Amino acid sequence: MSNPISRRGFFGKSFGLGAGLMLFNNFKIFSSGGKAPKIPVIITDHTNETGHNAMKAGWEILANGGAALDAVERSTNIVEMDPEDTSVGYGGLPNEHGVVQLDASIMDGKTYSAGAVACLENIKHPASVARIVMEKTDHVLLVGKGALEFAKQWGFKEENLLTDKARKIWLEWKQNLNQYDDWGAPDHLADRQNKTAKRFEELAFTYGTTNHLAVDKNGDIAGITSTSGLSYKIPGRVGDSPIIGAGLYVDNEVGAAGATGRGEDVIKSCASYYIVMRMAQGRSPQQACEDAMHMIINKYKKINPNFFPSEKFIALNKNGEYGCAFLIRDTPAQICVANEGGIKVHTGSVVIKR
């Protein structure tokens, strides 16, 4: 989902938090708790009206005995079609050249298969193309022009994905271009306090994604992560969303996890894989999400103890238990959940509360 703050402005703000925060081992977890160990179940990070509609559609499949794989694809497609969502699919904010490039991954726990696409242009449903990659090839990831040609061969029609809303936001960004937006040192090494360029924090900026995870009545697990990626990114940039083990991971014997936020950190930490492995070791989905946050913080504390990337993780285990966490935010993370008890918003935790 979108977040109205500049990339550099966000991390600049987070730098000022270091003096008031304790080191890794002493972080306090702010959480509302809560579990719902029931299957079938489907969850998404989107808690808005579109997220509720997506859960309704996915739950309809699961309630009628359908497969988790079909449920997550249908629910993801609904979010991908929302023109008001500037972080996913149609309506997503473009790269710095004004071109919308989409990434998505899918994983089927039942068959231990995966598929993904990256830098896909002009196709509204990258998640569905990723499923074809998974089911009809022996590959996992297709990118750029190759992914587009593949999608067209399977009947996907090219469409203009840049909505008027996204185009106007991009033009505003271009008019106020900040030379530090994506060029220069990595964020965790940049000395922002010495940079004098104006930060345009009022401009819409997205690092969001949509994650959809489900367990069906047979106990089979599937997941999808789909995104338009970092807004105003350097053309060709690929984040964590299409990377199996980073933006998404599924193990049919354990559970599934998905990530949204600053993709570069998720890639380096293999966060979704780490979360699922923590669940395999007996941690609850909620605890596993928080463990991954601490792992990332711990990696940076000797390099830059004041750096806290903006991550959100969600997880679901084989028993239908779920959890979610923000690394740094004013409020706890939330997910939308659909099971036999209905559709509701579940509140998880925030590791560092601003």
Question: Is 47 considered catalytic here?
Answer: no
Degrees, nearest 5: CA angle 211-325-315: 45
Number of helices (H) and strands (E) in the chain: give both, helices first: 9, 14
DSSP 10-56: HHHHHHTTGGGS--GGGPPPEE-------SSEEEES--SHHHHHHHH
- Residues whose CB falls within 8 Å of the CB of residue 115, separated by 6 or more in sequence, listed in order: 105, 106, 130, 131, 132, 133, 134, 135, 137, 139, 140, 141
How many other C-beta atoms can be found within 10 angstroms of the C-beta atom of residue 277?
18
Residue found by looking up tokens 């304790």 in the block: 22
Catalytic residue among 47, 209, 210, 260: 209
- Positions marked active-site: 209
